[in-house]
A and B are shown apart, each in its own frame.
Chain A
Amino acid sequence: MFSKAVLEMIGVGILETLYMTIISSILAYILGLPLGILLVVTDKDGIAPLVILNRIVGVIVNILRSIPFVILLVALMPFTRIVVGTTLGPNALVVPLVIGSAPYIARLVESSLKEVDHGIIEAAQSMGASPRQIVFKVLIPEAMPSLIMGGAIAIITILSYSAMGGFVGAGGLGTIAINYGYYRYQVDMMLVTVIILVLIVQGFQELGGRLMRRSDKRL
């Protein structure tokens, strides 16, 4: 049906997409996880309230989240050039992906951590746990199933953002879909890339669900 060259191109596209998605997810979590923790801890009902800092971070997160990703992608190009040296290719797309998704991840983490029963936190406090110990020994482990599910959602979101990078020549399945499906009207190519994307999404969703169920001891 497809020539070997085309199949090879699709293969590279898959790898590039996975590469961008995974690298971006890791980096976005390195930024987003502490931000999410900060939002929970410094909340006025948190374990170390710092209302002003909480407000400031909250506003920044909201502003970044309200910018559509395509616009962020273009707006960040000068910055991306400074960091990566180019605005083309998978590495260049990692920059806007991380900046665009970190605030989203911060909110996901925040909502997961807030699910932890306040009574459990109070019990830890009554035993003399410091805020730091509460974060690492109570909040994160207790919220782990929810954090894992949030992780799957974040990865899927980043994957779909990465496909938008096709418009700016980032590589990956998005570029294939746009170059062949959109510019050259090759519906079959479009279809194939879309199906592969759907399968990858399903895969991450399934994996997330499984890991979540395995980690959750509440039965």
Chain B
Amino acid sequence: MAYQEPMIELIGLGKTFESKNSHVKALEDINLTIYEGEIFGIIGLSGAGKSTLVRCINYLERPTTGKVIFDKIDLSEVDDYELLRVRQSMGMIFQQFNLLMQRTALQNICFPLEIAGVSKKDAKKRAYELLEVVGLSDKAGAYPAQLSGGQKQRVAIARALATKPKVLLCDEATSALDPTTTRSILDLLKEINKNLGITVVVITHEMSVIEEICHRVAIIDASHIAEIGDVEEVFMRPKSKIAKQLVFSGANHIESFVGEDKCRIIFDGRTSFEPVIANMVLECRTPVNILFADTKDIDGKAFGQMVIQLPEDDISKKRIFAYLETNNIPHEEVI
């Protein structure tokens, strides 16, 4: 996919929370460009500053330093009134859905349209369309209390799309949902991105969410951006410590095999899984110990990685490396 037009630019962005006796630097020197039409992921551990970052994008939080440029508008230069209009072209969804509890699904979707001054009749019409988009046409009259978590998030998505925003900001939108529902919501986001061309910013602490839908990702660690790049690239060749930690979540124990030589084999969508190892074992006539294996489906291609324990003797080791070289299988030694 080719991204040309920047949709959101963060330049030297910083945010410090000041109170009488504390001073929290939630973000520091964030530089980031999100392009029109992409699904951009922002991942980090709890407290890294993800929510603060996304709230800076729509100026719910005013940055203390730096700039936010949204669709060529420098948000620091618009007045309060103008800011309200700008926000109407940015939808946002939340972990806790944040639906109006005293309004039906339909009325919830009408809400942003009422705010924007759309007539009741037109708002209703649009709300019905959106219910269709999110697959909840039969729930128009249901109150949030009568909906499941996944259905609530669908209503929230429909509501966020009501004013035809250019960007959809998702702050941990699937963190309160079970894996199946998470997948269906992510599919919906993907569909929206593809069919409506809306730029989607996904905040999460789960690598699987990033792998599932994002094109590019920024990893944020302790208020800074640690790494940024295409999801495939970051996933296959994580550079920063935090990126490795997130990619290998579940495989942290590898580091505890001290003193052993290990090799990471990367499956980049070209190779299939078992035959590689099986063939290697047959060809090199040496058994290997699999320490960790993981496959993922990214953008329809199979990706995976496997960490194997190398044999003790140098000859077998060399043979394995030679095999991997000649078969063009990406790999690296893990120390």
Tell me which of B60, B101, B111 contacts A217 (CB under 8 A).
Answer: B101
The A-contacting residues of B in range 221-267, CB under 8 angstroms, are none
Contact between B100 and A122, CB atoms less than 8 A apart: no
Chain B residues whose C-beta falls within 8 Å of the C-beta of A128 in the assembled complex: 83-88, 112, 115-116
Q: List 17 A-B contacts (CB under 8 A).
A: A117-B98, A122-B94, A122-B98, A126-B58, A126-B91, A127-B91, A127-B160, A128-B86, A128-B87, A128-B88, A128-B112, A128-B116, A129-B84, A137-B111, A138-B100, A216-B102, A217-B104
Q: Does B220 contact A (CB under 8 A)?
A: no
Chain B residues whose C-beta falls within 8 Å of the C-beta of A126 in the assembled complex: 58, 60, 87, 90-92, 169
Q: Does A123 contact B (CB under 8 A)?
A: yes
Q: Does A18 contact B (CB under 8 A)?
A: no
Chain B residues whose C-beta falls within 8 Å of the C-beta of A144 in the assembled complex: 102
Secondary structure call for the A interface: helix
Q: Interface of B with A (CB < 8 Å)? A: 58, 60, 83-88, 90-92, 94, 96, 98-104, 111-112, 114-116, 143-146, 156, 159-160, 163, 169
Q: How far is the CB of B80 from chain A (nearest CB, A)?
A: 9
Contact between A119 and B102, CB atoms less than 8 A apart: no
Q: How far is the CA of A219 from the CA of B147 in the complex (A)?
A: 12
Chain A residues whose C-beta falls within 8 Å of the C-beta of B115 in the assembled complex: 124, 127-129, 133, 137
Chain A residues whose C-beta falls within 8 Å of the C-beta of B112 in the assembled complex: 127-128
Question: Range of interface residues on chain A?
Answer: 20 to 34
Contacts A126-B58, A217-B101, A217-B103 aside, 17 further interface pairs with beta carbons under 8 A come to: A122-B60, A123-B94, A123-B98, A123-B99, A125-B60, A127-B160, A128-B84, A128-B85, A128-B88, A128-B116, A129-B84, A141-B103, A142-B101, A216-B102, A217-B143, A218-B145, A219-B146
The B-contacting residues of A in range 108-133, CB under 8 angstroms, are 117, 119-120, 122-130, 133
